[in-house]
Chain A
Amino acid sequence: MKEIKIKTKDLILYYGAKMALNSISLDIPEKEVTAFIGPSGCGKSTFLRTLNRMNDLIPNVKITGEVLVDGLNIYDKQIDVVNLRKKVGMVFQKSNPFTKSIFENVAYGPKINGINNRKKLEEIVETSLKKAFIWEEVKDRLHDSAMGLSGGQQQRMCIARALAVEPEIILMDEPASALDPISTAKIEELIFELKKHYTIVIVTHNMQQAARVSDLTAFFYLGELIEFGKTRKIFTTPDKKQTEEYITGRFG
């Protein structure tokens, strides 16, 4: 196994009085794709969002335990969330381009990090869009509104936007769940390429997708981590009965 990028220790999360995550301990290796699967409401998205502290936005969330990224506890009081999120990027379920041009969307991240040189920005935008396999489709309309792109294109543009700030880890929250099969295939292909350079964590409802793109799979159920291991093993010879039942479609 490769080096550990993210490590969680006894992570417990409460929404108000309700326990949403119960003592999750998990090691996510570098430059691999780790998939989280499980029925709706099992806590997999919540867990994903603890990894770059997006849960901070929700009132009444209480978290105990540790999340170590490169060995540093990101819930330490000294940690600057802003810098953390530059390192741990995120792509959301619903594509969420800003109501700006495609160029402005992708350039937003570098700009807020203080890059104002037009030439440099153009360079970053081009490489990011190329990395997200969307350059060819949009290169002639960079200054058109991003809202005019199709759903699949928007999502890839959002990935490009996340890549533009040069993160090391990319969290994907059901990135293809609202897309048609062709767009989904493109996103999956993209994930496959991206894992050469980035550590990717993906939440998905689509079991086949998890099987296709991931190296490791974690199965969550009712806020608990039931099983975690190599994807091939989870999908062929899982240790737990619950995992097997979920994967074969008997519940969930």
Chain B
Amino acid sequence: MEEPTIKNKFVFSRESLKKKFRLSEFLSEKIITGVAFLSITIIVLIFFFVFKESLPIFQSKNKEAVKVESVQKQEQYGADETAVTNAAGQEQYGDVPADRTNAAGQEQYGVTETDSLMTENQVQEEDTIVYGSDEATFKSLTGTQWLPVSDNPRYGLIPLFVGTLKITLIAILFAAPIAILAALFSASFAPYWLREIIKPAIELLAGFPSVVIGFFALMVMASFFQSIFGYDGRLNAFVGGVAMALAAIPIIYTITEDALTAVPQTYTEASLALGATRWQTALFVTLPAATPGIFAAILLGIGRVFGETMIALMATGNAAMTGINPFESVRTLAATIGAEMAEVVFGDTHYNVLFLIGSLLFVFTFSLNALAEFYVKGKLVKRFQGKQS
């Protein structure tokens, strides 16, 4: 044996134990930290940008007069024609008084012509509130009419919310059972080789471009469902909801499958050793033990549907209606932004309202994900640390 040379030998001394500064480690640590904070910061900044753009709605009345002309020039008579003519019939364009600088000054209601048609309470207070003013805009946010490009624009968010919730409900009612049962099959019943095929195949679907699903819904599913149910409007909440379900299934499936396979094998064994069938084991042991994960899966599925734009835009018909009939056309929050953002005038009230919708979507999706995260964590910790069940 050779005697180790002094150079390699570790000498236990004050000198060798002195703290060392490792530059590369220090730098990489800082870079990683920086990247992490950067991504968080970017998300926060995006939110603040979106929120900031929606702020003018909430601010007091007299502000810059940028949008006076724009309101009139940008009028598009799109979706709801009766409403538009109705509005147009009531509007009298008086002479523009020089001192009035905002849109309110230009559009003023004539008194009680066909007021019975207008259901909004603003109408009753004819002279006090003037359409197009910020006050009117603010009040119309809670209204039931979404007519942003009318002569007297109304920005009622209710139909958009109703549409979004309706389509989300339909999509989840379709997606959740299918995805959960599929996950249960592949986690508990499928032979190993089959599982190895099914799981990646469905997961690949998660990356399927939603525009393709939308196209498919528009061309094939719409006609198919129409021939079954025989409704009038080809594109409606039902078609959109089912198409959205196609987008949500892979997400719900993947997370549910992971939750089910994460249930310890020992539970399954314990149950089988007691003489339970595989079906009983899956239903009474595996599925309950995976509940928190399945709940999270559904919430994430809802988040996906809620924010889905392309499918909504293509397959739902995009008419802002408030009825509960699933075969009616709907307009979702996300689709509204998608459809109108490109047409809107920068700085306009309409523009601000679209950003407000953006903020609402952001807040909603964020809280949904947060709920999924914290509920699941809390629930799991409770289960496995043996608190009261």
Contacts and interface: CB of A to CB of B under 8 A. Distances in A.
A147 B385 contact: yes
B192 interface: yes
A71 to B, nearest CB: 20
Contacts of B271: 98, 108
A92 B266 CA distance: 8
B274 A161 contact: yes
Nearest to A161: B274
A106 to B, nearest CB: 10
A144 B388 contact: yes
B383 interface: yes
A15 to B, nearest CB: 14
A92 B280 CA distance: 20
Interface string B109-132: 000000000000000000000000
B387 A96 contact: no
A100 B285 CA distance: 9
Contact of B273 (A90, A99, A145, A148): A90
A100 B388 CA distance: 9
A205 B284 CA distance: 33
Nearest to A101: B389
Contacts of B284: 108, 112
A57 B389 contact: no
A52 B276 CA distance: 13
Interface of B is mostly: helix
B288 A99 contact: yes
Contacts of A165: 274-275
B363 interface: no
Contacts of B267: 96, 98
A151 B325 CA distance: 56
Contacts of A149: 386
B313 to A, nearest CB: 44
Best-buried of B192, B275, B289 by chain A (most CB within 10 Å): B275
A98 B270 contact: yes
Contacts of B269: 54, 57, 90, 92, 96
A94 B266 contact: yes
B277 A145 contact: no
B384 A99 contact: yes
Contacts of B389: 99-101, 144-145, 147
Contacts of B264: 96
Most buried by A among B192, B274, B385: B274
B260 to A, nearest CB: 14
Contact of A52 (B273, B277, B280): B273
Interface in A74-122: 82-83, 85-86, 89-90, 92, 94, 96-101, 108-109, 112-113
B192 A89 contact: no
Contacts of A145: 383, 386-389
B211 interface: no
Nearest to A113: B275
A249 interface: no
Contacts of B277: 82, 112
Contacts of B191: 59
A90 B274 CA distance: 8
Nearest to B274: A109
A200 interface: no
A112 B385 contact: no
A136 B268 CA distance: 28
Nearest to B385: A147
A174 to B, nearest CB: 13
B272 interface: yes
A102 to B, nearest CB: 10
Nearest to B263: A99
A100 B289 CA distance: 9
Interface in B68-88: none
Contacts of A86: 274-275
Contacts of A100: 288, 389
Interface in B20-57: none
Interface in B194-208: none
Given A98-B289, A99-B289, A108-B284, A82 B276 contact: yes
A252 B342 CA distance: 77
Contacts of A144: 388-389
A85 B383 CA distance: 28
A240 to B, nearest CB: 33
A54 B269 CA distance: 8
A162 interface: yes
B387 A112 contact: no
A29 B389 CA distance: 42
Contacts of B385: 147
Contacts of A158: 270
A98 B273 contact: no
Interface of B: 191-192, 264, 266-277, 280, 284-285, 288-289, 383-389
- Closest CB pairs A-B (n = 3): A147-B386, A86-B275, A148-B386
Interface of A: 52, 54, 57, 59, 82-83, 85-86, 89-90, 92, 94, 96-101, 108-109, 112-113, 144-149, 158, 161-162, 164-165
Given A99-B289, A108-B276, 5 more contacts: A86-B274, A89-B273, A90-B273, A94-B266, A108-B284
29 contacts: A54-B269, A54-B272, A57-B268, A59-B192, A82-B275, A82-B276, A90-B273, A92-B266, A92-B269, A92-B273, A96-B270, A99-B288, A99-B383, A99-B384, A100-B389, A108-B274, A108-B285, A109-B275, A112-B274, A112-B275, A112-B277, A112-B280, A144-B388, A144-B389, A145-B383, A145-B388, A161-B270, A162-B273, A165-B275
